[in-house]
Amino acid sequence: MNREQHLTFCKKCVNQKMDLKQGVVCNLTLRKADFDNECSEFKVDELMTETHLGDPEEVERKEMLQKLNPEIIEKLRYEQNFQAALIAGLITGVVGAILWAIITVTTEYQIGYMAVAIGFGVGFAIRKFGNGIDPIFGYVGATIALLSCVLGNFLGIVGFVANAEGLGYIETLLALDYSLVPSIMVESFSGMDILFYGFAIFEGYKYSFRKISEEDIDRLNNSI
């Protein structure tokens, strides 16, 4: 078994311990796992299992931060780039909204799963360019994901109006009576939209955070 396969067991075991130099180790041996098919000392951490029913990645991220050396936390914060994360998230959100509108107008059907894709795309872009570990990155990802979904719906309405009136999209945007937009969007809103918007917010928040690997810990540890 390789290291990744070992960790699928170790991270659920009550005997796990975070070592700043080795990563996740066994609290009984103080070494990395080296068993082949099963560990005789493996015991499921029931509290961990129940908590992981919510969102395993989010729980693991918070636990990792709690166990890390404060000096490493500061170095991780130093590598954050909020401005790059914001710009990347906004660009991805706008592109996603435009693609959603194009697909909606072309198929004449609003595909709710596009909201999920937008949330994931926004979150991943923020993670990639922001390297964030602070909560603000998740909040920004969730907010941009939601606004992008709203923008996608709005642009879809513009597209339908443009096609019905035989106008260009830019021309429609300039001539549109924006006082009517809220009522139009409310009329076109459905219960499923709430569900998919919720998914988009969740994905935008979840994927906006940096994934901290054992390689990151080793690298930062060596720089202290």
- Position of tokens 């075991």? 13
In this structure, the number of other CB atoms found within 10 A of the CB of residue 36 comes to 7
DSSP code of residue 152: H
Q: Looking at the chain, list the stretches that DSSP marks H as alpha helix, in order from N- to C-terminal side.
A: 3-10, 46-52, 56-67, 70-78, 82-107, 113-130, 135-165, 169-175, 181-188, 191-206, 214-223
* Confidence band, pLDDT 50/70/90 cuts, at residue 68: low
pLDDT by residue (tens digit) across 90-121?
A: 999 999 999 999 998 888 877 778 899 999 99
Q: Does the structure show a pLDDT above 90 at 224?
A: no
For the chain, the structural domain boundaries read 1-48, 82-206
Establish how many alpha carbons lie within 13 A of residue 64's alpha carbon, considering only the half-sphere containing its beta carbon.
Answer: 22
pLDDT by residue (tens digit) across 125-180?
A: 999 999 998 999 999 999 999 999 999 988 988 888 888 888 888 888 888 877 87
Give the whole-angstrom CA distance, residue 12 versus residue 42.
Answer: 9
Most confident of 9-18, 56-65, 96-105, 118-127: 118-127
Is 44 in a helix, a strand, or coil?
strand
Q: What DSSP element (H or E) covers 25?
A: strand 23-26
Lowest mean pLDDT among 63-67, 75-79, 98-102: 63-67
Mean pLDDT of the chain: 83
Is 191 in a helix, a strand, or coil?
helix
Give the whole-angstrom CA distance, residue 156 versus residue 118.
Answer: 15
The pLDDT value recorded for residue 50 is 45
Contact 70, 126 (CB under 8 A): no
The pLDDT value recorded for residue 141 is 96
**What's the longest Cα–Cα distance across the chain?**
74
Contact 96, 121 (CB under 8 A): yes
Give the whole-angstrom CA distance, residue 96 versus residue 114.
Answer: 8
Structure tokens at 92: 């991805």
* Confidence band, pLDDT 50/70/90 cuts, at residue 27: confident
Give the whole-angstrom CA distance, residue 139 versus residue 133.
Answer: 12
Contacts made by residues 31-35, CB under 8 angstroms, sequence distance 24+: 32/3, 32/6, 33/3, 33/6, 33/7, 33/9, 34/6, 35/1, 35/6
The pLDDT value recorded for residue 21 is 67
